[in-house]
Amino acid sequence: MRTQVGIVGAGPAGLMLAHLLHLAGIESVVLENRGREYVEKRVRAGVLEHPTVELLRETGLGERLDAQGLPHHGFALRFDGVDHRVALTDLTGREITVYGQQEVVKDLIAARLGAGLAIEFEVTDVSVHDFTSSRPRISYVDAAGVAQTLECDIIAGCDGFHGICRPAVASELSFYERAYPFAWLGVLARAAPSHEELIYTYHDRGFALHSMRSPEITRLYLQVPPDESLDGWSDDRIWDELSARLSADGFTLTTGPILEKSVTPMRSFVVEPMRHGRLFLAGDAAHIVPPTGAKGMNLAIADVRVLASAASAFLREGRTDLLDAYSDTCLRRVWRAEHFSWWMTSMLHRDPAGDPFDHRLQLSQLRYTASSTAALTSLAENYVGLPFGAPS
């Protein structure tokens, strides 16, 4: 087979790249080792930055987003049992939208299939070849068990942290990473949100986050040790701990059946460069951020926006300047998001190895941030997302 861009991975990065390329008149093939049902039900991030929302609307993907997404004009920093509102729209003129990653994936899949373009689900034995030449190849076994070879001009590695593309060029990359001494125990519950906005809570017992996915579904998180087992967390224990950490005057936590539970270790991870030859890494294949800053999916979308423009200039005009600049362009935004996510994480989580001095420093940072218009503005403009192309 032959195409212009071979895309490994049908998450938000790979699917959005394919969508942008299609709008630019560029052919692509998307390969995914999971089935469609799994991909569409995989619960991940839920906060869309303002630039991400604008891009989805501009590219014809705004109908369900506008009907079902929940615009948020602020969120609460809760500490000392008191809420301090970060007024996102008042401070920046922009807002975020709560709309699950799996919903974005559904919209992208529907758009691609609706345009008569295929996605190769349930492929196996994927490997990339000859990416330092002008004729890179992807070999794989399709869902019917038939070995295939896909020749292309560019390979996009959008296959996540555990994918095959980054390991194929690992010897050519520099790795930067940090592991955190805690994880998030996340639950999805059939319960109406207890507050109209997100609540980021700093508590003596550890961090907690109140979020939502719809008017009927709540998403909640607890800080736990990185090796925590779910076996010790009954539904009752989870609700009791959430109630303790989220406690505040006038606040009542709404409870309900817990639909899903998971423990997610927290890490920061970046590789440089995000390109080797004709192989380009995007999204989680190139970088991971702690979820505290809500940047993961938004960074993936930002990456492929840059890559789609660069690929289009190369394939339609023969220009190589944007491809050559791809890694540096993306990494400026990546490192800004890494810093913001690290800062939010460090300010809000209790380090189990910390001491009373650390605790007082965190409270000082929280109190300053909540009382300073300049600090709140900096937090808000990073949280809603810097405009595409803005200096970082």
DSSP single-letter state for residue 2: B
Predicted structure pTM score: 0.95
The residue written with tokens 């080792």 in the block is 33
pLDDT of residue 150: 98
pLDDT of residue 390: 72
pLDDT of residue 218: 94
Give the catalytic positions in this structure: 72, 200, 291, 295, 383
Residue 168: CA count within 13 A, CB half-sphere: 27
Going residue by residue through the chain (392 aa), what tens digit of pLDDT does each one get? 999 999 999 999 999 999 999 999 999 999 999 999 999 987 777 899 999 999 999 999 999 999 999 999 999 999 998 999 999 999 999 999 999 999 999 999 999 999 999 899 999 999 999 999 999 999 999 999 999 999 999 999 999 999 999 999 999 999 999 999 999 999 999 999 999 999 999 999 999 999 998 999 999 999 999 999 999 999 999 999 999 999 999 999 999 999 999 999 999 999 999 999 999 999 999 999 999 999 999 999 999 999 999 999 999 999 999 999 999 999 999 999 999 999 999 999 999 888 999 999 999 999 999 999 999 999 999 999 999 987 66
Domain limits, the chain: 5-46+100-173+273-349, 177-266
Q: What is the pLDDT of residues 304-362, one digit of tens each?
A: 999 999 999 999 999 999 999 999 999 999 999 999 999 999 999 999 888 999 999 99
Q: What is the pLDDT of residues 14-63, one digit of tens each?
A: 999 999 999 999 999 999 999 999 999 877 778 999 999 999 999 999 99
Write the DSSP assignment of 331-372 as a string of letters: HHHHHHHHHHHHHHHHHHS--TT--HHHHHHHHHHHHHHHH-
Three-class SS state of 71: strand
pLDDT of residue 391: 65
Q: Which CATH number fits domain 177-266: 3.30.9.10, 1.10.3720.10, 3.40.190.10, 1.20.1250.20?
A: 3.30.9.10
pLDDT of residue 389: 81
pLDDT of residue 108: 97
Q: Which CATH fold topology does 5-46+100-173+273-349 show?
A: FAD/NAD(P)-binding domain (3.50.50)
Query: Which token pair is 299?
Result: 């960074």
The residue written with tokens 């944007």 in the block is 322
Give CA 356 to chain center in angstroms.
33
DSSP single-letter state for residue 387: P
Using the Cα atoms of residue 228, residue 219, residue 383 and residue 311 in order, give the sign of their dihedral. positive
Which amino acid, 42? R
Tell me if 5-46+100-173+273-349 shares its fold with 177-266: no
Among 187, 132, 156, CA closest to 32: 156
Put residue 364 in one of left, alpha, beta given phi > 0 → left and psi -120 to 50 → alpha.
Answer: alpha
> Are the C-beta atoms of 293 and 379 separated by less than 8 Å?
no
Q: Could you give the CA distance from residue 311 to residue 266 in angstroms, rounded to a whole number? A: 33
Beta carbons within 8 Å of 196's beta carbon, 6+ residues apart: none
